[in-house]
Amino acid sequence: MARLKPSGDEQRWINAAKRDVIASLQARLSHVEKLNQHQAARLANLTQESAERWRRGARGEVEALRAENAMLRAEEDDMEDVEDEVRLLRIERDEYKEQFQAMTKFLQDYGLTWVGEEEGEKDDTVAAKLSRPGSSQGVDTEVMATRVAELNALVRQEGARIVATRGPGGGRQGR
């Protein structure tokens, strides 16, 4: 097959068509390049915004964690204070136990036993009522004088005898 050569007008028309195609392709390429630049700039902005949001979020998280740490440290200090207070109270309790045991032993040395008080008796005792200012409990001195006189008469009848002995604690007792 033989190839035909275009005539001069056809050649111009072909060249014009080629130029139009090339111009069209250049315009399209230019448009795509501008679109590409625009999208690259947009992507860069989004990346930067995302990084800033992450940093802000991370800062917020860091601040929240710092606040939580401060709160935990304060609670730890409070717990140490509570533990110190509990330790001091236990020491004080142990000292009171020792004191109670010493007093109980002292009473036993003299043949006495501590019986304590019932819960309801604590505020109803005569001593408790007399110790309160403005107490309505009165002391009848005539009754008291009569009873002392009766006791003195009883001692005179039986004959008083005083015996001095050394007690278990080394003290003297009179009977």
Span 65-78, pLDDT tens digits: 899 999 999 888 88
Q: Is the whole model's pTM more than 0.75, yes or no?
A: no
- Token match 């390429």: residue? 29
pLDDT band at residue 175 using 50, 70 and 90 as cut-offs: very low
CA distance 76 to 71: 9
Decide if 169 contacts 109 (C-beta within 8 A): yes
3-state secondary structure of 173: strand
Q: What is the largest CA-CA distance in the chain?
A: 173
The model's pLDDT over 80-101, given as tens digits with 9 standing for 90+, comes to 889 999 999 999 999 999 999 9
pLDDT of residue 90: 95
The model's pLDDT over 117-172, given as tens digits with 9 standing for 90+, comes to 666 655 556 666 665 555 455 567 888 889 889 888 888 888 766 665 665 655 55
CA distances from 10 to 3, 19, 132 (A): 15, 14, 135
First and final CA of the chain: distance in angstroms?
160
Q: Give the ranges where the chain is alpha helix by DSSP (H).
A: 8-109, 126-131, 141-158
pLDDT of residue 95: 95
